[in-house]
Amino acid sequence: MLHTNGAMSSQSMARIQALEIDNSISIPEAGVTLLKDAPHEIYLYEGTMSHRDICIEINFTEAAETLCISFDLTLENQAFINLITKLVAKVWPLHSHKSVRDKYAPNCHCCLEKQEELRKDTSSHPLSKILLNLEEATHLKLTHSGQFSHSVQEFQYCSQSTHWGIVYLHAGTRQYSIDLTQVYSLHARVDIFKGRPQTVLTGFNAHGHKILELAQEGMSALHQWENELKTATPSR
């Protein structure tokens, strides 16, 4: 599971295979990359799936982003465990653990009020309307980036649900979520990827930083997405 500035992706893997590439660690199957020398705190704690389930949470201390990986203590995952433990510089007591999964860059009082309104009702947000109009089996690519971590996920959309301002996109054993209260502006365009067009929606936070991109194959979605952006404006 990777959480970055309001966007999150999670999926199940039988085995975690990680690679060291220059100054980064990559988990290709999960589409996740993180910088090794980024300021961070690593927490290890018991998971909730079974007595063998262990969670590693990497909190990047200079940004609102978290990488959380849950796995079984098996020989198949030993290489990954050895790689991650190289990053450990200090062991913190369990009670000092404070997840940043619910922390974001600070906003002004007006923005916080608008966020609370969106928590109660997301229907006014254009991204909510765009996602509601997705057809089942639509092929999507979700990219979310932070200062120290990056994730690219491709999946076939199955269904969605909403809770407290967060939209959850379900795709089989995988799940992706977008916190609409963190998406303050959107821009739609058409890109050419590997010689084929795709419609791309880019989301920015209140500080003007790009936090996510949602891409759909073809150009058919562009007109509908642009219309939603013209008729509705994210809360500010």
Backbone φ and ψ of 143, nearest 5°? -115, 125
The span from the CA of 180 to the CA of 118, in Å, is 8
202 burial via Cβ count (<10 Å: 0-12, 13-18, 19+): middle
**Which of 85-89, 99-103, 169-173 is predicted most confidently?**
169-173
Strand-pair partners of 43: 57
Confidence of residue 27 (pLDDT cuts 50, 70, 90): confident
pLDDT digits (tens, 9 = 90+) for 135-154: 888 999 988 876 667 778 88
| 38 within 8 A of 61, measured Cβ to Cβ | no
Q: Which CATH number fits domain 109-231: 3.40.309.10, 3.30.2130.10, 3.40.1570.10, 1.10.8.60?
A: 3.40.1570.10
Give 29-65 pLDDT, tens digit per residue: 777 887 777 666 666 666 554 445 566 667 666 666 6
Write out pLDDT tens, residues 184-208.
Answer: 899 999 999 889 999 999 998 888 8
pTM of the complete model: 0.71
CB-based contacts of 99: which residues, under 8 Å, 6+ apart?
Answer: 57, 59, 66
Q: What are phi and psi of 84, to 5 degrees?
A: -65, -40
If 0-12 CB within 10 Å is exposed, 13-18 middle and 19+ buried, where does residue 8 land?
buried
Q: In which region does residue 67 sit, left (phi positive, over 0), alpha (psi from -120 to 50) or beta (all else)?
A: beta
Each domain of the chain, given as residue ranges in start order, spans 2-96, 109-231
Q: How many CB atoms lie within 10 A of CB 169?
A: 22
Q: Under CATH, to which class is 2-96 assigned?
A: mainly beta
